[in-house]
Structure 1
Amino acid sequence: MGSCLSVTVARDRCYTRAFRAAGLRATDVTLGDGATVHIWVPRLPDRSRPALVLLHGFGATATWQWAPYLGPLLRAGFDLYVPDLLFFGGSSAPGPDRSESYQARCVVGALDAVGVGRFGLVGVSYGGFVGYRVAALYPGAVERVVLICAGVCLEERDLAAGLFVVSDVADAAGILLPQRPEKLRQLVRLTFCRPPRVMPTCFIRDYIQVMCRDYVKEKTELLHALIHDRKLPDLPRITQPTLIIWGEQDRVFPLELAHRLKRYLDENCQMVVIKNAGHAVNLEKPKEVCKHILAFFLDSGSPDIYNGHMV
């Protein structure tokens, strides 16, 4: 995964230790079609605690995006289940299906294998696309949904219409799967409201080598499957209570998509817009985002209805 002197490897190990210190352990679930889902699960699951599934975005693995949330969510009484989506971290699949529906089926297959039947769900960006499909395909399993900067209401024609900073999937892949320092700098400027002022090239090259070189072809295919021929009328309406959280300065999925999703789900949905935050709102404002997640799940009634373990 990189040399022993790699700053990125060292940080990755810190995140892994944080997950272990929080009482989670990593396990690999092999599904019937040969797909493998790497998932963090409670070392000592408690059937009295509600299960909460956290789905990461396109930028990194589960540990990199969810480490700041472990403490508050665990103290609030949740059992956490945190998978790597296919072709991120330790998850992969041998078949050609790159749809978010397939990702959703694999997530639920892994949860079923570790004994989780009902759960709340939080998805960031691409993880929100997958989480939305989980909620649509398995309405009896998903109690509530939080979607963070997840532009599930986008249409392919939006690219040509200029809603995004890119005009086609190839441009998007070049930024979201950076292979050169200038592309990673562009990605950081695009996703953060206040990007770091100094980004040394040596650290950037190290990050690209460790985090951005695996499954480039498969991830590019994920983007194509996500956007190709996407039309709003084809999107199923999920029925679970849903919270939309968005960074006001999001330049990857502009705020218009949040309002579009709010209109699409209508009264079944709440929306929170966080100021001074961009697409990476989960990393820029973790305390504020976590506060809204907890309020949505815990202030809505007894958490007992989120008991995620099969008897």
Structure 2
Amino acid sequence: MSGARPDVARTRLPDIEERTVRGAGRETFVREAGSGPAVVLLHGSGPGTTGAAWERLMAAMAPDFRVIAPDFVGFGRSRLLPGAESDGTHPYGRRVWTAQVLELLDELALDRCAVVGNSMGGAIALSVAHARPRTVTRLVGIGTLGLDMPLPPGLDQLWSYRPGRAAARELLELLHVDEAFRTDEAVEARLTATLEPGPRQAFAAMFPPPRERWVRDLALTPDELARIRVPTLLVHGAEDRVVPLEDSALRLLHLLPDVRAHVFGACGHASPVERPTELHRLLTDFLGKP
């Protein structure tokens, strides 16, 4: 099987505004499209990943929502400013990325918004909802991290990535069940994205071994999770090898007070890519089409 799925190929990308928002100690690169209730989309921790990973979902949502997709610091075109981490702490992780999103909400004057996070972005979405319960109206975690678990082998492979054509192909095989998303063109695109000097250097320093500590760093405690009372939707691929279903969504169903879940069969870690049309329907139903 090769080539893109028809529903992906037909999606028309909207006009996306790009800008840099400068805050305290950091610059956040943001993509924005549409109008209506605000939805903030938080990307995952895959090498070469940026807010651009959401562009097809942004295309589908823009007619009804104001969709905002930032790059986390260390990814894409977001960066810490010199001296921002002068206290010697690790310049990445839950604390830094949560503060970045909260600062962005303030800079954009968003006093009400939904937050959708994929993988690591899901952990930060949970963290933001815990920090700002009166701001977050709805919460979605897709293949989400955010609770303590043994380091999954697939996540260890993802975080230990070093650029190379063979490694890029192995990464796509890890992320996708559907061979349509593991083409030679996709391999070259992933390789090119991971060769960008700034993000490449940042990623190499982001998750050094022992990597179990970064899973713990992104995890909320059971008490913190219990305090997140915003309606929450969990979306997961049944064959997710990066964040296994049984270690994430199935456990969160017992820890979050107002939660529901949808599982895609024959789907891996990248359901926004593999199931964009179905995911859009899920999100529109859950977020409430204006």
Q: Same fold (TM over 0.5)?
A: yes
SS at match of 1:104: helix
| Deviation larger for 207-216 or 112-121 | 207-216
User: How far apart are 1:231 and its partner, in Å?
Assistant: 7.6
Equivalent residue, structure 1, for 2:73: 86
SS at match of 1:213: helix
Asked if 1 retains the 8 angstrom alpha-carbon contact of 2:164 and 2:191, the reply is yes
Distance 2:213 2:153 in 1: 19
Q: Structure 1: which 5+ runs fail to align?
A: 1-17, 304-311
SS at match of 2:282: helix
Q: How does 1:150-299 map to 2 (within 5 A)?
A: 150-155=144-149, 158-159=150-151, 164-165=152-153, 171-174=157-160, 177-195=161-179, 196=181, 198-199=183-184, 203=188, 205-210=191-196, 213-220=200-207, 226-228=214-216, 232-233=221-222, 235-237=224-226, 238-256=228-246, 257-266=248-257, 268-298=258-288
User: How far apart are 1:58 and its partner, in Å?
Assistant: 1.6
**What TM-score do you get using the length of structure 1 for normalisation?**
0.75
| Runs of 4+ more than 4 Å apart | 221-225, 228-232
Distance 1:40 1:234 in 2: 34
Distance 2:233 2:193 in 1: 33
User: How far apart are 1:234 and its partner, in Å?
Assistant: 6.3
Q: Structure 2: which 5+ runs fail to align?
A: 1-10
Q: Identity over the aligned pairs, expressed in percent?
A: 25
Aligned with 1:140 (options 128, 134, 139): 134
Q: Deviations over 1:74-110 (max 9, x none)?
A: 22x2111111111111111242442313211211211
Equivalent residue, structure 2, for 1:7: none
Distance 1:142 1:288, change over 3 A: same
**What TM-score do you get using the length of structure 2 for normalisation?**
0.80
Q: Which amino acid aligns with 2:126?
A: Y
Asked if 1 retains the 8 angstrom alpha-carbon contact of 2:225 and 2:256, the reply is no
Of Structure 1 and Structure 2, which has the larger fraction of its residues in helix?
1
RMSD across aligned C-alpha pairs, in angstroms? 2.9
Distance 2:203 2:282 in 1: 34
User: How far apart are 1:28 and its partner, in Å?
Assistant: 1.3
Q: Which amino acid aligns with 1:67?
A: E
Distance 2:245 2:104 in 1: 33
SS at match of 2:169: helix
Asked if 2 retains the 8 angstrom alpha-carbon contact of 1:190 and 1:252, the reply is yes
Equivalent residue, structure 2, for 1:30: 22
